[in-house]
Structure formats: C-alpha cells, structure tokens
Amino acid sequence: MKFYDDILGLIGNTPLVRINNITRQLKIKAPIYAKMESLNPGYSVKDRIGISMIDWAEREGVLKKGGTIIEATSGNTGIGLALVAAVRGYKCIFVLTEKASTEKVRYLKGLGADIVVCPAAAKPGTPDHYVSTAKRISEETPNSFYPDQYNHPENPAAHYRTTGPEIWNDTEGKITHFVASIGTGGTISGTSRYLKEMNPDIKIIGADPYGSIFKTYKESGRVPEATPYLVEGIGQNLPVGNADLGIIDEIINITDRESFDMARQLARKEGIFSGGSAGTIFAGALKVAKDLDENSLIVFIVCDTGEHYLSKFYSDEWMKEKLLLEPQRITGSLIAQTKNADAPQNLISVGPDDTVGEALEKMNQNGVTQIPVLEDHRSVGSIRESGLLAKLLADRDLIDAKVSDVMDKSFPVLDSDASLVEIKSKLQKNPAVLIEDFKRITAIITRSDVLDIQR
Ligand SMILES: Cc1ncc(COP(=O)(O)O)c(C=O)c1O
C-alpha cells in the first residue's frame, strides 16, 4: 500500500513549475520557476512553520496534551497550526485583523479553530492590536503555547531545513536569483541562509508592497510611517525579529495594482491560481528578469492559493470597488451590478400605455430624471424629465396623455458584455445607455454611474 500516516506527511517537497506564456510575451530570456507552496496540504508556505513550531513546543515540554495554541496570524500560519492541532488533538485560538479574507476565516473555523478579529487600523503595541491581543489571551489561558511566528527561531529554521535544500536540489544548484516576500521574514531569511551557504553569489530579492517599511528601513535604517495597502500577509509597519534584512540584496516595492494584476495573469496565462503575495513576488521577479539572460535562473515563491481570495481580488466587483480593475474587464453588466448604493438597484421603467403623470411620479419616487419605456422587455422609447417638463409647461393637459404620445427616442441598447470604451462613447451623445441580456433590457447606465468608477 502507498499512503501517508496523516495529512502532515504532505507538507513540503513542493514542485517547481516553469513560467512559459508570460515570459514569452514579455520577451524575458531568463527562466523563471514558481515554487508551488500553494500545493501544501493547508495550501500555503506556512504549513512548514506550523509543524516545526509545534514540534519544538512538544520537544521543549511547552505544549502538553490537551493544550491550546494561540497565535496572531494573517490566516495562513493559523491554517498550518490548525492542521497539526487537528491531527494531534490540540485546541486553537487565532487572532486575525479585519483584513483577513472571509475564506481564510471560514477555513480556520472549518479546521476547528476559534477566531478573534481585531481592527486592522490598531497600532502595534496598543491593546487592540492583533499581536497584543494574542499575547494577552495566551497569558490568560492555562496550558497554552503562543508560537510568536514573528520571533520564533523555528520559523526561519523550517525554511533553512526544507525550502532552501528543495530549491537547491531541484535546480541542481543552478539558481542565481531567489525572490520572496517579507511577512514574518521566515521564508526569505531561512531559505536564503541555506542558498547563500551553498553559493554566496545567489542574489536574494525581497518584493514588498508600497506602504510597508522594509525597503526604507533596509536602505536607510530609518523606520518610516507605514501606509495601508491591500495585499495580505506581507509587509510590516515595524521591524520584525525573523526578518533578516542583511541577507537580502535588494528590496523592490510593488503596488497593489501590480500585485493583483500579476496574480490574475498567473491564473489566466499559466493556470497557477495564487494569492496576492505571489503576485507581488512575481512582479518583483519580472522586474529582476528583464535585465538577465538565459544563464540566470530565477525561483519565486507562490505563497498560497487563490481560493483564499475568491471574494477579494479574484472578484471583479471587489476590484472595481477598489478602483483596481483593468479597464478592459469593466463591462456593462459589471457597472450595472455594482452601482453606487445611492442609485436605484433595480431597473425603473414605464410602459407606453402608462400616463405621463404616472411616469413623473415614478421618477420622483426613485429620484431619477430619465427612464426607459419598455414593452415586452424591449426598449421602445424614453422619458427625460427636462424635455417632458418643457412640454408640460406648454400644455398642462399632457399630464393625462399616454407615455407613447410624448416619449423621446430610446436610449442606445448595448449587450451586457459591452466594454467601458463602447459605453463611454455612447454616453458622449446620450444621457444613458440600456444593457440587454438575452434580449431583455436588464439595466440602465447613466453618465454618473460611469463617473463613479473613474474617481
Ligand atoms: C499570503 C502570504 N504570503 C506571504 C507571507 C510571508 O511569508 P513569511 O512570513 O515567511 O515572510 C505570508 C505570511 O503570513 C502570507 O500569509
């Protein structure tokens, strides 16, 4: 029989996968390989440190039978710890910030963990900060283990023992550049220590979000004021014990837009469905690669899976709300589905046989100044308040006339996957366009709906 004793046997030994289509399109000569940490049983690089920190705690007698593991985590370390806890019978309490995706929170609950959520804006050292909260809960809980992934030596040590040798062996020692992010710093510090011991010429590149402190801190020794960014799990607002910046040759800052765009491209063009931090790192790898030739060999980390972010940057609606969606993906139906909350969410329309008075009342009630006239779900005309009021001024009796007697021509009708460019071009000459789905008018898009997505 071929089997594993338990799920923990699947941790590590993740494969390298070559990037093909994106590099070809960009005419990049240096081969780039993805280290597929998303293929760990908890779908992230953090499975490696979950088991190594718990093994340490058991060896040291810190964690005893029936004990509780308490940790501050952006989610993935929690998943790595929870897998071990499930197999070995420990309880878990994880403290997250509001920034953690719903998917990760549900996943952790699914693995049996209790969750505490802290405000993302809480400053380090204040009682509401997720790290202070985790510390406090661990002090109050008997027979508990607080791994503290930011400082625990078993975090980088796990990567020194496993991730580094795997990359060295799988590339047959040919790796020239290693690109990773810096969250706790465990991955980059431990892996790089091993790689530099094997070949000190290997270049280590840290990819870090704009807003995080690491680049300025490494280059000047000064800790700048951090600013918010959207990528999860990486970057910091204070220096971290496990982040050995001395071993990193260069830190490259990457925007949220580039990170999410690159992660989405990895999915669409390579079939590698990753989290946002892999997008940050891949963006960094591409910047490094453009000046290298085929004699170089770049390895970058795919830290976790895209499934943790289905409701975030893999959602066009979320990307549009954050003003990050590529313009070519903004379609008529997306604009219609994600209208500003002040705009009516359902299509308001009148029939040709309704009276002008009824049409005016409907427009008033819904706070709109133009509505389509629909018959059998098709557009036959439009009512525009300004034109109608002018007609009423001239002839008060028109209030009882039929809509079909006074209506203007129909707004242009576009298919639901019409592009933003097409919609904008129609809105140059028309106050609104209608969106048609399977031959039924389903929505109206006004000039202000389009202005809303271009703030
Ligand atoms: C999604 C994701 N990417 C990258 C990292 C960074 O790894 P490390 O903490 O080893 O620096 C983390 C850490 O939490 C993470 O959750």
DSSP 28-42: --S-EEEEEGGGSTT
pLDDT digit string (tens) for 169-179? 999 999 999 99
Fold adopted by 47-145 = Rossmann fold (3.40.50)
pLDDT digit string (tens) for 179-208? 999 999 999 999 999 999 999 999 999 999
C-alpha 452/C-alpha 337 separation (Å) is 13
pLDDT at residue 286, rounded to an integer: 98
Average pLDDT rounded to a whole number, residues 213-224: 96
First to last CA, the chain: 61
Ligand 1 site, residue 74, Cβ cutoff 6 A:
yes
C-alpha 81/C-alpha 375 separation (Å) is 60
pLDDT at residue 451, rounded to an integer: 84
On the question of a common fold for 47-145 and 328-452, the answer reads no
C-alpha 70/C-alpha 108 separation (Å) is 13
Average pLDDT rounded to a whole number, residues 135-162: 96
The amino acid at residue 265 is Q
User: What is the Å distance from ligand 1's center to 74 Cα?
Assistant: 8
Number of other CB atoms surrounding residue 200 within 10 Å: 7
Fold adopted by 328-452 = CBS-domain (3.10.580)
Domain ranges of the chain: 7-43+153-314, 47-145, 328-452
Write the residue with the smallest CA distance to atom 16 of ligand 1: 233
* DSSP run (H or E) holding 409: none
Average pLDDT rounded to a whole number, residues 203-222: 97
Ligand 1 site, residue 233, Cβ cutoff 6 A:
yes
Q: Which atom of ligand 1 is closest in space to residue 278's alpha carbon? A: 3
Q: Where are the beta strands (DSSP E) in 119-155?
A: 144-145
Residue 437: closest CA among 331, 363, 320:
331
Q: How far apart, in Å, are the Cα atoms of 256 and each of 78, 176, 209, 230, 269? A: 24, 27, 7, 6, 19
pLDDT digit string (tens) for 281-309? 999 999 999 999 999 999 999 999 999 99
The amino acid at residue 3 is F
Interior angle at CA 300, CA 299 and CA 302, nearest 5: 135
Average pLDDT rounded to a whole number, residues 322-331: 84
Number of other CB atoms surrounding residue 385 within 10 Å: 15
Q: Where are the beta strands (DSSP E) in 100-219?
A: 114-118, 144-145, 177-181, 203-209
pLDDT confidence tier of residue 102, bands split at 50, 70 and 90: confident
pTM for the model = 0.84
C-alpha 411/C-alpha 436 separation (Å) is 12
Indicate the top mutation candidate among 46, 52, 244, 281 to test ligand 1's pocket, ranked by most ligand atoms within 8 A of CB.
Answer: 46
Q: How far apart, in Å, are the Cα atoms of 107 and each of 100, 104, 208? A: 11, 5, 26
Token pair recorded at residue 379: 């557009």
The strand pair at 432-437 and 440-446 is best described as: antiparallel
Residue 303: closest CA among 214, 179, 149, 147:
179
Active-site hit among 29, 35, 46, 174: 46
Q: Report, at the CATH architecture level, how domain 7-43+153-314 is classified.
A: 3-Layer(aba) Sandwich (3.40)
Token pair recorded at residue 437: 């789905």
Is 46 in the active site?
A: yes
User: What is the Å distance from ligand 1's center to 45 Cα?
Assistant: 7
pLDDT confidence tier of residue 213, bands split at 50, 70 and 90: very high
Is 122 exposed, middle or buried, given 0-12, 13-18 or 19+ CB atoms closer than 10 A? middle
Q: For residue 283, how far is the Cα from the chain centroid?
A: 15
Average model confidence (pLDDT) for the chain?
94
Average pLDDT rounded to a whole number, residues 263-287: 98
Average pLDDT rounded to a whole number, residues 328-340: 84
Average pLDDT rounded to a whole number, residues 150-154: 97
User: What is the Å distance from ligand 1's center to 35 Cα?
Assistant: 14
* DSSP run (H or E) holding 119: none
> Is the Cα torsion angle 434, 438, 442, 445 positive or negative in sign?
negative
pLDDT at residue 455, rounded to an integer: 53
